[in-house]
C-alpha cells in the first residue's frame, strides 16, 4: 500500500467498509451530528440519469416525453439551463462528480474501457486510467468523515473489484460495479449485470433500483445522509415497459411529429420510468418526514444518444443543441440540472450561469459545513455554486470551463478539446488543428463557425485551452505510425 493511499484511508477511522452495512461507529457519529443540530446539515440526494439529453424533460422543452414528477420538482426548485458534464461520455463525468476534478487531471478521459482507434487518423487515442484511483478523495469519503451516512445505488462504472463504491467511501452499495450497461432492463434477463437480484420475474430495473434507494433513505432518516442514486436508464439497450411504450406509439399515431423532433416511443417510455422513480423518491422523503431538510439534485452524465448505436436507436434528438453523446458540441455536454432545497432555493427559479459536474463536490461540502481539505482532498477544480442557490444572478470566480476528450467515441466524435469563456465557445480538433468558434448567446445550435471571422479571439481561446491542458497535465493522443507510413 502506498503512503498516499494509507494517508487517504487514515481519516476514515472506524467507519466500516462493508457494503449494505452501517457500523456502530457510524451510528454514534450520527448521534453526535444530530445533537450538533442537523437543520443546517441537509440530507443530499444526487440522482444521475444515464445518457439523458438536455431536451428530454418537459421542463426543459420536450413536448413528446412525459415527465410530470420532474416538472413538479422543477416548479418547486431551480432549473440550471447551462449545466455541463465534464465529458461527452459517462465514466469521466462520474469521476468528476466524485472528486471535483477535471477528467484530464484524473487521467480518466474515456468510458471504461473503450478503445476505438480508426485507421484513417494521424492520431491514436490517448492512454488513460483503468479506474478511479483509490488515492483520490471522493465526496463520499469527505461527507462520511463529517458524520453523513453514504449510499450508492445503481450504475458505478469507475473500476473493477477493489474500486467499487464500498472502496470509495460508501457504506451502502446496491448494484454498483464495473459494468457500464445492463444486459437487460427486465429480471431475470439482466442476470448479474448489474449485481442485484430482481424480486419477481419481469421486474423493471429502474423500479428495482428505486426500491434500494427507498431502503437506504428509510435506514438513515434520523441522521444526515448522502445518497448517490445512479440510474442505468436511459442507456442502451432501449427496453421499456410494454404499456408505456404502447401509450407513446398511440401518441405518435395520433400526432405524427415533424422531422427532427423526438419520436422514439420506447425511449420515451424509459424516460417516463425514470420520472416515476423521482415521484416515488420524493414521496419516500415526504413519508419519512424529511422532505423539508433534504436537497435533491437531478442531472445526467452526458448528452442524449442521437446516432445509431444498437437496436431502436437513435434514441433521441437534443435539438436545439447540436449533436449528442460522444461529441463536444452542446448536445454532447449540456445537461438538464434541477436543484431542490426547500427554504433555500426559490420555487420556479432559472439560473443561466454556466456550471459543471466538477462543481458538485465543493458545493456538497459547503452544504455539509465541511471543507475538502479537511479530508485530505487537494487540486479541486470545481467551484462551490451554492451562492447561486440564494441568488441565481450571483457571479462565480471562474473565467472559463474546459473539456479534453482525446479519443474516438463510439458515436463518431473525434479527439478534441473545448473551452467556454463567457458566451464564447471554442472547439479544437486535435487531429488536424482546425478550430470551431461559436457565440452561444446568439447561436445555441452551433451552426455558424466564427473562427475565420474572429481569428484573434479564436487564437486567444486556443492558447487558453493549451495553458489549461498544461496546468492539469492532460495526456495528448500520440501519433499513429501506420497512418504516417501510408502518407510516405
Would you name the residues annotated as active-site residues?
A: 90, 157
Calculate helix-pair angle for 265-287, 205-219, nearest 10 degrees: 20
Which residues, at least 6 apart from 2, have a Cβ–Cβ distance to it below 8 Å? 135
Q: How far is CA 48 from the centre of its chain?
A: 6
Tell me phi and psi for residue 106, to 5 degrees: -80, -10
Asked if omega into 320 is within 30° of 0 (cis), the reply is yes
In degrees and rounded to multiples of 5, residue 295 shows phi and psi of -95, 135
- Burial (Cβ within 10 Å: 0-12, 13-18, ≥19) of residue 470: exposed
Cell numbers describing residue 264? 422514439
DSSP 123: B
Q: How far apart are CA 167 and CA 144, in angstroms?
A: 13
CA dihedral 256, 258, 264, 267 (to 10 degrees): -120
**Residue 261 to residues 217, 249, 307: CA-CA distances in angstroms?**
38, 15, 14
**Number of CB atoms found within 10 A of residue 286's CB:** 12
298, 70 contact by CB (below 8 A): yes
Give how far Cα 120 sits from Cα of 39, 124, 130, 480, Å. Answer: 58, 10, 26, 9
Distance CA 231, CA 233 (A): 5
State the cell numbers at 241. 415497459
Query: Are 320 and 446 within 8 A, CB to CB?
Result: no
Residue count (the chain): 488
* Residues whose CB is less than 8 angstroms from the CB of residue 128 and which lie 6 or more positions away in sequence, other chains included: 107, 108, 109, 110, 407, 475
- 385 with 359: CB under 8 angstroms? yes
Amino acid at each position: 500500500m502506498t503512503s498516499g493511499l494509507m494517508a487517504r484511508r487514515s481519516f476514515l477511522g472506524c467507519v466500516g467498509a462493508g457494503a449494505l452495512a452501517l457500523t456502530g461507529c457510524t451510528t454514534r457519529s450520527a448521534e453526535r451530528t444530530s445533537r450538533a443540530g442537523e437543520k443546517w446539515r441537509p440530507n443530499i440526494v444526487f440522482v444521475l440519469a444515464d445518457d439523458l439529453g438536455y431536451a428530454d424533460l418537459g421542463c426543459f422543452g420536450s413536448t413528446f416525453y412525459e415527465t410530470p414528477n420532474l416538472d413538479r420538482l422543477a416548479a418547486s426548485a431551480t432549473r440550471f439551463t447551462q449545466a455541463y458534464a465534464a465529458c461527452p461520455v459517462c465514466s469521466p463525468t462520474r469521476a468528476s462528480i466524485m472528486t471535483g476534478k477535471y477528467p484530464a487531471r484524473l487521467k480518466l478521459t474515456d468510458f471504461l474501457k473503450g478503445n476505438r482507434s480508426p485507421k484513417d487518423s494521424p492520431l491514436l487515442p490517448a492512454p488513460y486510467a483503468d479506474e478511479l484511483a483509490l488515492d483520490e478523495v471522493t465526496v463520499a469519503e469527505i461527507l462520511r468523515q463529517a458524520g453523513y451516512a453514504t449510499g450508492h445505488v445503481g450504475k458505478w462504472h469507475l473500476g473493477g473489484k477493489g474500486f467499487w463504491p464500498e472502496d470509495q467511501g460508501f457504506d451502502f452499495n446496491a448494484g454498483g460495479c464495473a459494468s457500464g450497461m445492463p444486459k437487460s432492463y427486465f429480471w431475470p434477463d439482466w442476470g448479474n449485470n448489474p449485481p442485484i437480484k430482481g424480486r419477481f420475474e419481469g421486474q423493471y430495473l429502474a423500479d428495482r433500483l428505486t426500491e434500494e434507494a427507498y431502503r437506504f433513505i428509510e435506514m438513515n432518516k434520523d441522521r444526515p445522509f448522502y445518497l448517490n442514486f445512479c440510474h442505468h436508464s436511459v442507456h442502451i439497450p432501449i427496453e421499456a415497459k410494454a404499456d408505456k411504450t404502447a401509450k407513446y406509439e398511440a401518441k405518435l399515431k395520433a400526432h405524427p411529429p415533424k422531422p427532427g423532433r423526438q419520436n422514439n416511443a420506447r425511449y420515451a417510455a424509459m424516460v417516463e420510468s425514470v420520472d416515476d422513480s423521482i415521484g416515488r423518491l420524493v414521496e419516500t422523503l415526504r413519508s419519512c418526514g424529511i422532505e423539508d431538510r433534504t436537497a435533491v439534485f437531478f442531472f445526467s452524465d452526458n448528452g442524449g444518444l442521437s446516432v445509431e448505436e444498437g437496436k431502436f436507436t437513435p434514441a433521441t434528438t437534443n435539438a436545439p443543441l447540436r449533436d449528442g453523446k460522444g461529441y463536444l458540441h452542446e448536445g454532447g455536454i449540456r445537461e438538464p440540472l434541477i436543484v431542490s432545497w426547500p427554504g433555500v432555493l426559490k420555487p420556479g427559479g432559472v439560473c443561466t450561469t454556466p456550471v459543471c459536474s466538477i462543481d458538485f463536490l465543493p458545493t456538497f461540502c459547503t452544504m455539509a459545513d465541511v471543507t475538502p481539505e479537511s479530508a485530505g482532498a487537494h487540486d479541486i477544480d470545481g467551484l462551490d455554486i451554492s451562492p447561486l442557490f440564494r441568488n441565481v444572478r450571483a457571479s462565480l470566480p471562474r473565467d472559463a470551463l474546459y473539456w479534453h476528450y482525446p479519443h474516438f467515441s463510439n458515436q463518431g466524435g473525434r479527439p478534441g478539446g473545448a473551452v467556454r469563456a463567457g458566451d464564447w465557445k471554442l472547439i479544437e480538433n486535435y487531429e488536424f488543428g482546425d478550430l470551431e468558434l461559436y457565440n452561444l448567446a446568439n447561436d445555441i445550435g452551433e451552426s455558424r463557425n466564427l473562427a475565420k471571422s474572429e481569428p484573434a479571439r479564436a487564437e486567444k481561446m486556443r492558447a487558453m485551452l493549451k495553458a489549461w491542458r498544461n496546468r492539469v497535465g492532460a495526456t495528448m493522443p500520440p501519433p499513429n505510425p501506420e497512418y504516417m507510413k501510408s502518407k510516405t
